[in-house]
């Protein structure tokens, strides 16, 4: 068991998290945005949202204690206005690793300003993601997240989603397998250009 844990499990988990920390290229942002534009329900949000934060790759791994990390960009009125990073720590029953793309839409200027004010946090998340399809249901004690579902990156479709406290969140599974019943929060840092 100890040999499995050291060589067969921990190294791939750490590799996934390290890969998520590699800065995304400009075309990865375009590709990710296009994936969400063409993914059904999430595509409609581009027409009316004040802005959005997009993360091409977030890597997540866990074995009892878990973590996630990803870097992204923030857009307002279609213009790239700053950079953001997301970190997450979780505790509870969890096993595996996954990578996914995420987009957070800001319904109005108030939601945008709240997100970009410095450190912003979502709390209490529960997810289940398979290799080529994903489902997420996120809840927050502050009313922060909505739900979304997806297929693989090129054939993703999003389910009904809506704004909650001015924010709507969608994810597209990129790969991996994660089983969890865990509590944790996503924390975001924002740096303007």
For 51-84, write each residue's pLDDT tens digit. 999 999 999 888 888 889 999 999 999 999 999 9
pLDDT in tens, 121-138: 876 543 322 223 444 444
User: Which of 56-65, 86-95, 108-117, 150-159 comes out lowest in average pLDDT?
Assistant: 150-159
110-23-95-175 Cα dihedral, nearest 10 degrees: 100
If you compute the radius of gyration of the chain from its CA atoms, what whole number of angstroms results? 16
Give every CB contact of residue 176 below 8 A, 6+ residues apart in sequence. 16, 60, 96, 97, 98, 99, 129, 131
Can you give the pTM of this predicted structure? 0.74
Count: domains in the chain = 1
Residue-range definition of the domain harbouring residue 95:
2-192
């Amino acid at each position: 068991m100890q040999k499995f844990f050291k060589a067969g499990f921990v190294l791939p988990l750490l590799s996934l998290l390290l890969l998520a920390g590699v800065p995304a290229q400009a075309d990865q942002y375009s590709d990710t945005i296009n994936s969400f534009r063409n993914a059904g329900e999430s595509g409609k949000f581009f027409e009316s949202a004040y802005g959005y934060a997009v993360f091409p790759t977030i890597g997540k791994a866990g074995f009892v204690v878990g973590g996630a990390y990803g870097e992204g960009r923030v857009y307002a009125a279609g213009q790239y206005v700053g950079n953001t990073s997301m970190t997450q720590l979780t505790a509870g029953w969890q096993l595996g690793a996954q990578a996914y793309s995420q987009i957070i839409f800001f319904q109005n200027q108030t939601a945008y300003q709240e997100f970009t004010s410095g450190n912003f946090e979502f709390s209490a998340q529960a997810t289940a993601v398979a290799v080529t399809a994903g489902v997420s249901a996120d809840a927050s004690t502050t009313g922060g997240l909505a739900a979304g579902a997806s297929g693989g990156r090129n054939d993703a479709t999003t389910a009904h989603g809506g704004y909650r406290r001015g924010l709507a969140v969608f994810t597209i599974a990129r790969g991996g397998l994660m089983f969890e019943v865990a509590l944790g929060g996503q924390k975001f840092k924002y740096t303007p250009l």
